[in-house]
Structure 1
Amino acid sequence: MKLKCLLIICLIACSIGLEAQNGYKNPVIPGFNPDPSICRVGDDYYLVTSSFEYFPGLPIYHSKDLVNWRQIGHCLTRDSQLPLQDVPSSGGLFAPSLRYHDGLFYVICTNVSAGGNFYCTATDPAGPWSEPVWVDIDSIDPDIFWDEDGKTYFVTQGNEGIRVTEIDIETGKVIGVERLVWGGIGGRFPEAPHIYKKDGYYYLLLGEGGTEYAHSATIGRSKHIYGPYESCPLNPILTHCNRAGQSNQIQGVGHADFVQAADGSWWAVFLGFRVTHQWSYYHVLGRETFLAPVDWPAGGWPQVNGNGTVSLEMNVPTLPLHPFEKEPVRTEFDTEKLGLEWQYLRNPARDNYSLTERKGSLRMQASPYTLDETKPVSFVGRRQTQHDFRAETQLAFESSKEHEEAGMTLIQSNTHHYDLLTKKINGKSVVQLRVRIGSISYIVAEKTVDGKALKLKIEGTPMQYKFYVADSPNGKYTVLGEMDTRYLSTEVAGGFTGVMIGLYASSNGKPSKAKAYYDWFDYETKE
C-alpha cells in the first residue's frame, strides 16, 4: 500500500513538472520595460531595459528560466553616473545592451541628453557598477562585440544604417574607422543592432520600422564583420505589421536580442505593447518585454516562433521553470531604502525624502517644482504593469498654505497626467481630481474632507481609471471621478515611456515647509 501511494505521488510530481515546462504568458516583464537586452552566464540569465528620465537608471533583472524574472538592481545609481538635470520626458537613457566577457558584465547605452555613448562594468550584475566609460561616436543604440581575434567593436545605429567601429575596451577610445555595414531591408530607423558569431557567419540583428505599429526585427549575415551582409529570405523575422499580426492585442514588436540557453535552445527577447482593445489602438503600459523561441539550425537562418508572430499565451516548451515568490501587495515603508520597483523623476533632491523621520512612513517634503515641469519634483513612482489594477495609499498632509498639495498621480509625461490630490481651499481641506492633457488642465471633481489622515485609491481597467477618496483611515470610499485611459496613451501623449503610478508633494513654485506622510502603499493586479 505504501509503495502504491509512493508511486502515485511520484506520478503526480512528474506530471506537475512536465506541465510546468510547457507554456508561459507574455509579456514576461510587464509594464514600461522597453528595449530588452539579455546575456547568459552559466544557468543564469540577466536582462536590462531602458529607463529614459527615471532615476536610478537601467533596471537589471535576473531569471533561471527566461520566463520568471525578478529585478536585482539598477546599473546607474549615482548622480555622477547619470546626470538627468532638466531632461525632458522620454529623454535620458536609450536602448541599452547587456553583455558578459572575461569575468565582467557590461552595460552599453546612450544618454541622449548628456554625454552620449558609454559603457559601465561590474563583476556582479546586481551592482555596484563602474563610472561610465565614454565612447566618442556620434550615434545611438550601442552594443559591444568581441571577435575571436581579440578585437573589440562598437556596433551602433546611424541615420543610414548600422555602423561598426573598433575600440580599445580598456579606455573606450576609438582606434578604427567607423564603417557603415548594413542598412537593413529598407524600413525606417534601422536601429538596435546586435552581432552574433555562429557557424562561421557574422549575424547582424536589428530593428526597423520605428518603435511603433510598423516595428519589426530583421537579420543579415556575412563572412566578414564589415560586410557585405546578405538579407535573410525570411525577413522580417519578427513583426505584427502584417495580416498574421493585425488583430493581435500585442503590437509594435521588434528591437530584439538573442540568447542561447544552457540546453542549446535559442530564444529572443524583444519589445512590444498591448493595446487596450482589438480595434482600439491605444496603449498606456508602455513597451514591455516579450519572449519567443527561436529555431536556428546550423548554417541556417533564425526563425522566431515559426512565423514571426507571438501571442499572450505561448504554448511552447520552456526550460525547467523556477518561479520567484510573489511580490507583496503592500509596501509598509518600514525599510531603510525604497524597494527596487520605486523610481524618481530625474535626479532626486534626497533631503526631500525620509523613511526614518516617522517610523513606518515615507516622508516627502513638498518641492517648489510641479509634475508639469522637467525638474526634480518630489515624486516616487512605480510602473503600471497590468491594465486591471488597484493602487491605494494612506496619507497625512501637514500643510497650511493653499499653494501646497500632495497625493497620487498617474503620469505618462510632464504634459499628460491625472492627479488625485489634497490641498487647502479657503481654509478647508479638499481632495481634487485634476487632469493635465497637453495644453488642457482642469479640475474634474472636488470633495471637502476633514483634513486629517485620508485614503486615496485608483482602480484601472483597459478603458478607464476610477478615482476614490476616504476621509479617514477607517472610512468608506466614495467615487470622485472617472477618466478614459487613452488620454495617457502613447498615441495621445507621445514619447517612449509608460504610465507610472506615483506619490508626490508640491508647493507650486513657492517656498514651503509642508510635508506629506505616506503610511503605506498597495499595488494589486488582476493578471
Structure 2
Amino acid sequence: MGRETVLYPARWEEGEWPVLQNVRGEMEGWPLPAEDKSVPGDGPFNDEADEFDFDSSSALPKHFVHWRVPRDGAFSFTDKGLQIVPSRNNLTGVPYSETDVVLTGRRGLSFVGRRQTHTLFDFTVDLDFTPREIGQEAGITVFLTQANHIDVSVVLLRGEDADKTPKLSLRLRAEGTGGPPPEKIVAVPEDWLKRPGPIRLRIQAKDPLSYELSASKRCSSTPDIVLGTASSGLVSGGNGSFVGSLAGAFATCNGAGEGADCPAGGLASFKRWRYTPVAQFISADESVPSN
C-alpha cells in the first residue's frame, strides 16, 4: 500500500455511480473486523508506548531507526543502558562541506529514534553523561532532517568567567524554516552536580503547535528547568515534508577530533526511555485520547 493510502467508506448501488464518503478523522461505514493482534513476529504495534530500561542484555528495539547508516560500534548496551559513541558531526552538521565529508553526516550520525506516532506525547530519557572536552554533547531531539530538528541536551561549554572554567550546561537548540527560537543555555544547578544519578531530559507535545523542552534531576530540591518551547512547524515541512518526525537520542563532539573520531570521552548512556502517547488530533479542534 502506498504512503498516502487511505481506507474510507464507499457505497455503490446497482446501476448507480459509486458514492464516496469524504475522508475525515472520524467516519462511519460498515463494521470493521474485530481487532486481533495475535499475528506472527514480535515488536511493538504502531500506537504503543515505549517503556524501556536498557541494560547489558538489551537489544535495539525493532521500531528504532537511524538517519543515515551509523558507524559500526556507535551503539551498544552496557549496565548503564544504551551507550552512544559521539559523532564528529552534530545533528545539523555541514551538509555541503567539500573539505570534510565526515561533517556532512554521510559517514554516519550518532542518533537513534522512533517515529512520532501521536500528535500529543511525552518523551523522557535518563542521561548518564560525563563529558571531558569542550563541545561534547548528548541529548534528545524531535528530528525531521539535518535541517529540521528541535533538541534539548547536556553539553560542556567554556565558562564566561575570567578563567573560562568549563561548565556543564543544559541547551535548547533548534533548526528549521519559519523562525526557530534562539539558543537557550542554562548552567546545570550545583545541587544536581552534587547528587549521583542521571539527568532526565524531556520533550512534550502539549498541543499540536509546539513542543516544550525541559530537564530535571531526581531527589533534587531544584525544580524542573523548562528551557523553552519550539514551534512544531519547524519539523513539519521544509526539507523533509515526506519523511515524518522522529523522537530520539544523540551524542556529538560538535566537529572536534580528526577523521571520523571524536576526542576521548563523551560517551553517553541512556538508561530509562519512555515515549508515552497522549492523544491524536483528527481535525483542527478534535482529538482522540490514546489508550
Give me the TM-score of the superposition, normalised by structure 2.
0.72
Where in structure 2 are the equivalents of 1:286-305 lying within 5 Å? 290-295=6-11, 303=18
Matched-pair contact (CA < 8 Å) for 1:367–1:512: no
Whether 1:458 aligns to 2:203 is yes
Select the residue among 51, 69, 89 that pairs with 1:347: 69
Partner of 2:184: 445
Deviation of 1:316 (Å): 1.7
Secondary structure, aligned partner of 1:486: helix
For residues 451-502 of structure 1, what are the alpha-carbon distances to aligned partners after superposition, in whole Å with 9 as ceiling and x for unaligned?
A: 56201111112011111111x2344422111112112221x44541121112
For residues 401-437 of structure 1, what are the alpha-carbon distances to aligned partners after superposition, in whole Å with 9 as ceiling and x for unaligned?
A: 1121110111111111111111112321100001222
Matched-pair contact (CA < 8 Å) for 2:175–2:234: no
Matched-pair contact (CA < 8 Å) for 1:395–1:454: yes
Partner of 2:282: none
Summarize the Cα distance change of 1:402–1:293 in structure 2 as closer, same or farther, 3 Å threshold.
Answer: same
Number of aligned pairs? 236
Q: Distance in 2 between matches of 1:497 and 1:484?
A: 18
Where in structure 2 are the equivalents of 1:109-188 lying within 5 Å? none
Deviation of 1:328 (Å): 4.2
For residues 178-208 of structure 1, what are the alpha-carbon distances to aligned partners after superposition, in whole Å with 9 as ceiling and x for unaligned?
A: xxxxxxxxxxxxxxxxxxxxxxxxxxxxxxx
Per chain length, whose mean CA-contact separation is higher, i.e. which structure has more relative contact order (CA < 8 Å, sep 6+)? 2
Q: Distance in 2 between matches of 1:313 and 1:439?
A: 31
Q: What is the one-letter code of the residue matched to 1:517?
A: S
Matched-pair contact (CA < 8 Å) for 1:466–1:479: yes
Where in structure 2 are the equivalents of 1:285-434 lying within 5 Å? 290-295=6-11, 303=18, 306-324=19-37, 327-334=48-55, 336-355=58-77, 357-358=78-79, 361-372=81-92, 373-375=104-106, 376-426=108-158, 427-434=166-173
Partner of 1:191: none
Q: Distance in 2 between matches of 1:439 and 1:313?
A: 31
Q: Distance in 2 between matches of 1:467 and 1:441?
A: 14
For residues 79-113 of structure 1, what are the alpha-carbon distances to aligned partners after superposition, in whole Å with 9 as ceiling and x for unaligned?
A: xxxxxxxxxxxxxxxxxxxxxxxxxxxxxxxxxxx
Q: Distance in 2 between matches of 1:403 and 1:441?
A: 21
Summarize the Cα distance change of 1:442–1:484 in structure 2 as closer, same or farther, 3 Å threshold.
Answer: closer
Partner of 2:245: 499
Q: Distance in 1 between matches of 2:252 and 2:178?
A: 20
Considering only aligned residues, what root-mean-square deviation do their CA atoms show, in Å?
2.7
Secondary structure, aligned partner of 2:247: strand
> What 5-or-longer segments of structure 2 have no aligned partner?
38-44, 93-103, 159-165, 280-291
Q: Distance in 1 between matches of 2:277 and 2:253?
A: 32
Partner of 1:489: 236
Secondary structure, aligned partner of 1:401: coil
Larger-Rg structure: 1
Summarize the Cα distance change of 1:366–1:374 in structure 2 as closer, same or farther, 3 Å threshold.
Answer: closer
Secondary structure, aligned partner of 2:127: strand
Deviation of 1:447 (Å): 1.4
Summarize the Cα distance change of 1:480–1:474 in structure 2 as closer, same or farther, 3 Å threshold.
Answer: same
Matched-pair contact (CA < 8 Å) for 2:49–2:277: no
Matched-pair contact (CA < 8 Å) for 1:444–1:481: no
> What 5-or-longer segments of structure 1 have no aligned partner?
1-35, 38-48, 50-254, 256-269, 271-289
Identity rate, percent: 25
Give me the TM-score of the superposition, normalised by structure 1.
0.41
Secondary structure, aligned partner of 1:292: coil
Matched-pair contact (CA < 8 Å) for 1:432–1:443: no
Matched-pair contact (CA < 8 Å) for 1:394–1:473: no
Whether 1:473 aligns to 2:218 is yes
Summarize the Cα distance change of 1:505–1:316 in structure 2 as closer, same or farther, 3 Å threshold.
Answer: same
Deviation of 1:296 (Å): 6.2
Q: What is the one-letter code of the residue matched to 2:76?
A: S
Secondary structure, aligned partner of 2:141: strand
Where in structure 2 are the equivalents of 1:257-268 lying within 5 Å? none
Partner of 1:248: none
Matched-pair contact (CA < 8 Å) for 2:85–2:267: yes
Secondary structure, aligned partner of 2:73: helix
Q: Distance in 1 between matches of 2:76 and 2:15?
A: 57
Q: What is the one-letter code of the residue matched to 2:254?
A: N
Q: Distance in 1 between matches of 2:21 and 2:53?
A: 44
Matched-pair contact (CA < 8 Å) for 1:397–1:515: yes
Matched-pair contact (CA < 8 Å) for 2:121–2:277: yes
Q: Distance in 2 between matches of 1:486 and 1:348?
A: 27
Partner of 1:521: 273
Larger strand fraction of residues = 1
